[in-house]
Structure 1
Amino acid sequence: MSHPYAPRRSAVANAVYGLFNPIPFGFFVAALIFDVIYAKTGTILWAKGAAWLIVFGLLLAIIPRLVNLTQVWITSRRISNSADHVDFWLNVVAIVAALLNAFVHSRDAYAIMPAGVWLSAVTVLLIAIGHVIIAVSYSTDREIRHD
């Protein structure tokens, strides 16, 4: 008796996604920390550093989002669950918030406050919620398979 082929995601795509996905989150968290320090001290170095961190985070967010786009919506849509879709959209909204934050950080001196802190916080919060949703979904799937 033959079993039907179980669809799965590409191992190379999973490796690329797993390698690049945490990097933008780290840049955005560092930018949030820099923005909070700038709000407290007023030293322009922290604002310029946050602006660069946001730019690098946005540049490095392109690769995992493209992999995620193809896995969730194109190639593996039969095996993707609702948590994958929610995570995808949360990350898209976070990237839009980070893009707006990059524009805010192009202003002079203290004109980036308080919008810079709020947009950095929204970006980090949205990505963190997406990670939590995926983690809960993954642990629930493992418990169901284990039983």
Structure 2
Amino acid sequence: MTVETHPSRFSVTSAVFNLLDPIPFGFFVGALIFDVIYAKTANVFWMKSAAWLISIGLVFAILPQLINLGRVWFGKNRVRVRGEKINFWLNVIAIVAALINAFVHSRDAYAVMPAAVWLSIATVLAMGLGRIILAGEQTHIQGVRP
């Protein structure tokens, strides 16, 4: 068995990206949970809390994607992996869906349903799928070959 090693690509931007990238996913999953609870209970607290989670998730989603833009598309001497490009575009789709969801959450009371739930599902699925593809690609690159 041989293990492929790759040179370390550590930089400050990589550290900031790796620190901030998982944060929005947690906020968006929380917003999805709160949207589902609101759809079942009609308690306005859950809708307002989901709106806050989406807004905070969007704040934390922008900087890592700007760093990712530079890493994937403009990095020097960088091997571009197809999975990184797909992850980038799925994250862009998730951010757009979350932005639309933030506008939907600005509506009054039950007018946010069912659009809020569907947009939350789309956001979480896009980000989750991007992470799954990226993890599979990195496992393939750094994996052990027989």
CA distance in 2, matches of 1:93, 1:81: 19
Deviations 1:38-76 (A, max 9, x none): 000000000000000000000011111011000001114
Q: 2:70 and 2:99 mapped to 1: Cα distance?
A: 22
User: 1:10 offset after TM fit, Å?
Assistant: 4.4
What residue number does 1:82 align with?
82
1:8, distance to aligned residue in structure 2 (A): 6.2
CA offset at residue 78 of structure 1?
3.6
CA contact under 8 A between 1:87 and 1:134: conserved in structure 2?
yes
Match of 1:47 in 2: 47
- TM superposition outliers: structure 1 runs of 4+ over 6 Å: none
What is the percentage of aligned positions where both structures have the same residue? 55
Describe the shift of the 1:30–1:8 C-alpha distance in structure 2 as closer, same or farther (beyond 3 A). Answer: same
Question: RMSD in angstroms over aligned alpha carbons?
Answer: 1.6
CA distance in 2, matches of 1:14, 1:80: 15
Mapping for residues 1-147 of structure 1, pairs under 5 Å:
9-76=9-76, 78-143=78-143
Cα distance change on mapping 1:117 and 1:77 into 2, 3 Å: farther
- From the superposition, tell whether residues 124 and 76 of structure 1 become closer, same or farther in structure 2 (CA, over 3 Å): farther
Q: Give the whole-Å Cα distance in 1 for the aligned partners of 2:132 and 2:31.
A: 21
CA deviation after TM superposition for structure 1 residue 138, in Å = 0.7
CA distance in 1, matches of 2:76, 2:30: 33
TM-score by length of 1: 0.90
Aligned residues: 141
Give the TM-score normalised by structure 2: 0.91
Segments of structure 2 that go 5 or more residues without pairing to the other structure are: 1-5
Bigger relative contact order, structure 1 or 2 (CA pairs below 8 A, ≥6 apart):
2
Q: Deviations over 1:58-101 (max 9, x none)?
A: 00111110110000011147412110000000000000000000
- Larger helix proportion, structure 1 or 2? 1
